[in-house]
Amino acid sequence: MCGLAGLARTDGRMLPADTDDLLRRMAHAVAHRGPDEQETLNSGPVGLAFTRLSLVDPAAGGQPLHSPDGNVVLIANGEVYNHRELAAGLPSGVRMRTGSDCEVLVHLYQQKGLRFLDDVRGMFAVALWDRARNRILFARDRFGVKPLFYHQNRERLVFGSEMKALFQDPACPREVDWSGALADQALGGAPDLVDGPPNTWFRGIELVPAGTILSFDLADGSSASHRYWSFPDIGAFRDDLSADEFIGRYRELLSESVRECETSDVELGLFLSGGVDSAAVAALSTIRPRTFTALNGSTLVNGDSEHGHRAALLLGLDNHQVVFDTRRVPSAEEWKDLLWLLESPQCSPEVFYKRELYRYVKSEFPEIKGMLLGGGSDEFNGGYSVTAAEGGDWGGFLSNLDEMALRDHRHRMRGTAAWWEQSAAHPLVRADVLRDGARADDSYQRFWRWKYRDIQQYNCWHEDRTAAGSGIEARVPFLDHRLVELAASVPPELRPRLIWDKRILRDGLADVLPREYADRPKVPFFYGDGVHHTYRAFAAMLAANGDALLEEALSGARAKEYIDADNARATLRALQDDPTSGHVEFLLRVVNLGLLDQMAQQPPAAPVDARPAAVPTALAVTDWDAERRAIEAHVLNRAERHGALVPTLHDSVLLLAEPGEPDVRYVLVNGEIQYVVDGSETPAWLRMLDAIDGERGIDELLAAVGCPLSEVEEPLFESAELGVITLAEPAARA
């Protein structure tokens, strides 16, 4: 991983005398991406800046890279995994002068021109100056794993791995696109099958498309686009394979991709969540990496941290449980530093925890410069099929995709859509009319294309940035185009067998992972039953010091035009009272827009100059079962549990029963129903709740209701964490 930046005149003139200073500022803005080396080049109409993180050939792999005749100059960020294979295929007489994996791109370009990336496997962003043809080229890998932004005006191009490099140029616009951001499905969260290029969130800033080479003429600024890879058209081609052959081929390709992603002359690590994706990478790895797992309130309750520990133990890998206890509330400055690193309103609690994992690795294991990830599997293997089916089967999944697709068709054909809106239960007009002649499998194709956009818009973006903030490169074995093309070629009759719930992956791991791990249901990074722990922490962050961070976001002139400030404050109050009352991410997204708008006008210090916060620590775990209570106490900040503790309903809580519903209790917080206890599902907990009187301790109550602690332990202590009840020592009751 490296940092790229530069500028080029596109009016036939040379760069001005002050360009060197601008190039140095641009390089400094992305110095966190490449802490090992920094170089600039200023020659005629082109200026290049490069900061290097050295993973392959640390001694001699510096950039810019030059062709032997000097006509081609290249800087690249990323890795070319099959560089040795490509170098072996070059014409006789071509000699590689370095061990850099990227040098082969120079020779491929001289040999093949715009076809030079056709056979390249890897993740990369490239800026190439062709002196002979007087043009500059920008290119990115097939999935946009590595970023490259640019802005073009009448006189010149300015470009960089991150937008903060472009903002060093006074001529570059610095305006958040509020309308475009708020209308984007990635922020609003509507279940729409959207397509199209990712959003940069800023006006006038473009992102080089994935799988594409852009060419700019330095004489007149004209441009051309060459797409060297396109996302597969689902169903347009078929592999004549059986289900078992598909599974075997997928396993073979994934194993090869993991090996290629392990190409490095320095140490690599692995983020291990305990889900099937990261566990698969761990099982197929040949380098036996150290593994790292997030241990917070959410991952403790949803089982991720425990399964990460157990998977590492099973595979004989070193595992570090990186702790974020429930008292850990990010400061406003921490959040703003993270937001500036991300440059995206999608900055979220998930991103925060991922960034903290990288910070721990950087602090404790500075020799690790690359991290293997399990990301990119869900999007193209059917990881969302079970959720999207909403309790149904494959047919339900496809039916719901059709409904999602029709939402868009209804917007486009408002007149005809009225027939659906007036008779929603039994529409009188056929869906095909709204689809306007689309193919029968159109919604399935559109779902895949939506996920292709999603992987670029969010996954690749935040994985790259959180890693780059600590000078580490994120590597994603599942984003190998051969794997995606294979999954895309599964014919309709085999999709329920292979794409449903990622069976193409799960069934291919039979000889390397026990079914307990291969079949573990999908659990998002920090969501699930314990998400209230996360929401409480980030609501507290927004509310700290008199809502300082929220008020700062609301204070900008543009924010006042777009954000309903009173409703934003009311949302925060509700989240403080009950972390499960909404999604803190939606509030954070509008807060992020307000903060980014102000940051762009007056760019903060470069990430490399940001004041570091305290680094997380790890909890050593040897035997999860034996240490479970100690782990929970450490992460959840629970006082030692004992039977003498006296439960009492909080002053803001009222317990109500409705006539005719003897087995149901409504829990009101500040006069509003927040929880419902169904005695048919948890009879012991309902009896315990009814018996709480603020006088008797836990043991006394258990004896009165006739049940063991194990039957009420989880809801009892969760209610205490949510503030529904308090637990006090007997002596403290008065």
Q: Which of 284, 287, 282 is nearest to 308 (CA)?
A: 282
What's the CA gap between 506 and 508, in Å, rounded? 5
Token pair recorded at residue 720: 């205490």
Given a contact cutoff of 8 angstroms between Cβ atoms, the answer to whether 652 and 639 are in contact is: no
Token pair recorded at residue 536: 């409480």
User: 635 φ, ψ to 5°?
Assistant: -80, -40
Sequence length of the chain is 734
2 is catalytic: yes
Given a contact cutoff of 8 angstroms between Cβ atoms, the answer to whether 626 and 309 are in contact is: no
| 585 residue type, one letter | E
Token pair recorded at residue 554: 């609301």
Q: Which of 2, 102, 261, 460 is catalytic?
A: 2
User: 682 φ, ψ to 5°?
Assistant: -130, 70
Q: How many helices (H) and strands (E) does the chain have?
A: 31, 23
Q: Which of 353, 123, 364, 367 is nearest to 268 (CA)?
A: 367
User: 370 φ, ψ to 5°?
Assistant: -140, 150
Token pair recorded at residue 269: 């690590």
E strands in 61-144: 65-66, 72-80, 122-130, 135-140
Given a contact cutoff of 8 angstroms between Cβ atoms, the answer to whether 51 and 62 are in contact is: no
Token pair recorded at residue 708: 């063991």
Given a contact cutoff of 8 angstroms between Cβ atoms, the answer to whether 332 and 544 are in contact is: yes
What's the CA gap between 72 and 94, in Å, rounded? 15
User: 216 φ, ψ to 5°?
Assistant: -120, 125
Q: Which of 522, 580, 570 is nearest to 550 (CA)?
A: 570
Other beta carbons within 10 angstroms of residue 497's beta carbon come to: 16
Token pair recorded at residue 244: 């078992």
Q: How far is CA 160 from the centre of its chain?
A: 21
Q: Is 173 helix (H, G, I), strand (E, B) or coil?
A: coil
- Per DSSP, 303 falls in state S
Given a contact cutoff of 8 angstroms between Cβ atoms, the answer to whether 185 and 192 are in contact is: yes
Q: What is the 3-state secondary structure (H, E, C) of 420-442?
A: HHHCCCCCCCCHHHHHCCCCCCH
Identify the bridge partners of residue 124 per DSSP, sorted by sequence position.
78
Given a contact cutoff of 8 angstroms between Cβ atoms, the answer to whether 128 and 116 are in contact is: no
- Per DSSP, 411 falls in state H
Identify the bridge partners of residue 73 per DSSP, sorted by sequence position.
66, 129
Torsion (CA) 115, 119, 120, 123 in degrees, nearest 10: 90
Catalytic sites, residue numbers: 2
